[in-house]
Amino acid sequence: MQNATATPTSTLNVTQLLLYKETFLSLNSSADASFLVSNFGFGSNSLTFKAGPSSSGITAADGTCGVRTTMTAVTQALLHVTETKDYFEGPIDAATWIRGCFNRLHGNMSADDWGGWDRFMSMSTAFYYPDLSLTFSVLKSNGIPFAGRKYVNPIDGETMYVVFVNIPAMGVPWEFHSHHLNDTTAFHAFSSNECGAQYWMRRSVAALDTAYSQLAMELSEHTNSPMLIAIRTPSTVAHDAPRRQVFEKYLGAQPVEIIESDDAPHCVVERYEFTATESSPSSFNGVSGLPVDEHWSKIEYTFVYNPAARDGSNDVGEWCALDKYDEYVAGVHERMFGVNTGWDRYIDRHVGFVVNARDGFGSLDTVVEHLIDDGIGFHAHDDSIVNNIEYGSAWTSLAYGGLGVEIFAKTNGTYFNKTGSNSNATLPQTTGLYPLNFCSSSSD
């Protein structure tokens, strides 16, 4: 593998690179939550949204507008499994992508006729256990399909084991790593078309175990839960300069490492590092709300270009290909999101970042002013008011490999307020900053 450290110039004076949430689009939030609890030791807490008398028709027959399940694990970041009703999906709905494309490609990785690694396998989220033995035993007992791989930790040379499992109503693989596993017979090295470098842990086993024990103690989380360590998304191009510029501008984030394989065709892995944090005003006060050592909460965010993996165009149909999915979701977002307006079903799959800057993008108001200037659609909603300061998020039309971008920040009133006007006459007028409402067609 060839390594290069990227050093692009950033114009942001960001105090910390903070990631607070990953949200997963699910066709059945309750079923996916049960699957994760029974097989992997997650905790869960579900919230069902019911329509009131003034709702605008976003409901199921029983009046349910949506279900959001929070999965608890050894992390301060939120993991939301979200199932919403009736938001715009376009001609190819989420169920078709999940059941007709993703699950057909990797829904049964244990099958003798499984076609092997596909490009959507990089649409994954990674976790760590100090010991994978119990979880793997449960998977086998429950007959859960899986793919087992092993690799050498590049930091300390330890052998690592990772099991990949498809989450049924999401259609995305989750991966579970460990250095300890009793039964390793089903685990083998990554093949060249699987781009194994995307999955390597960049921390020693000792550092991972320390982070796990300290975070579990800090969060009072039971020790059967895994620790969140990485979020990945597939890329349709080897080096996406426009996306990198967006990350630099809006998040102050620069890639810490770019890895390119020696095999042809090359896979390219672009790594960012964030600190997992809670989505609260404490995120804006130094390290308040974080463990003493923020390295315990380090999260990798990785973009993966792997053209050697199979696409679904041959196995399923021309539409079931990464570039088609990437283009489709981006197109739905661009159609639906305007200036503080719009919503669609595919925004249920996104990552939430906290922007905490000393100057420049120090407020959500400033963030959205730049989004407007850059022609990027968004819809913002408020979160909380603390000490007369309002905090909120802008869900944007940005999407990479189908994974959307949410930006959480405090407001300063230069764009957002409760009355619907704003103090800057050169900007489009806004309807204000209101709570997210899954029972409203506008989401307000």
Q: State the pLDDT at residue 285.
A: 43
Per-residue pLDDT, 418:
55
Span 97-138, pLDDT tens digits: 999 999 999 999 999 999 999 999 999 999 999 999 999 999
Q: What angle do CA 141, 69, 25 make, to 5 degrees?
A: 90
Share of the chain above pLDDT 70, in %: 84
pLDDT tens, residue by residue, 359-395: 555 788 888 989 999 999 999 998 877 777 788 899 9
Average pLDDT of the residues in 268-285:
73
Alpha helices (H) in 227-297, listed in sequence order: 241-246
Which contacts (CB < 8 Å, 24+ apart) does range 235-238 have? 235/268, 235/270, 235/303, 235/304, 235/305, 235/400, 235/401, 236/305, 236/322, 236/323, 236/326, 236/401, 237/305, 238/266, 238/268, 238/305
pLDDT greater than 90 at residue 356:
no
Of 353, 358, 367, 363, which is closest to residue 406 (Cα–Cα)? 353
**Confidence (pLDDT) at 91:** 97
pLDDT (average), residues 78-105: 96
Average pLDDT on 16-30 reads 92
Domain 2-326 fold: 2,3-Dihydroxybiphenyl 1,2-Dioxygenase; domain 1 (3.10.180)
First and final C-alpha spacing in the chain? 48
Global pTM value: 0.91
Of 98-112, 217-231, 241-255, 329-343, least confident by mean pLDDT is 217-231
Q: What's the confidence (pLDDT) of residue 423?
A: 44
Average pLDDT across the chain, whole number:
86
Question: How does residue 57 score in pLDDT terms, banded at 50, 70 and 90?
Answer: low
Nearest-CA neighbor of 114 among 103, 123, 125?
A: 103
Domain ranges for the chain, please list them: 2-326
- Interval 305-327: pLDDT, tens: 999 999 988 889 999 999 999 99
What is the reported pLDDT for 85? 85
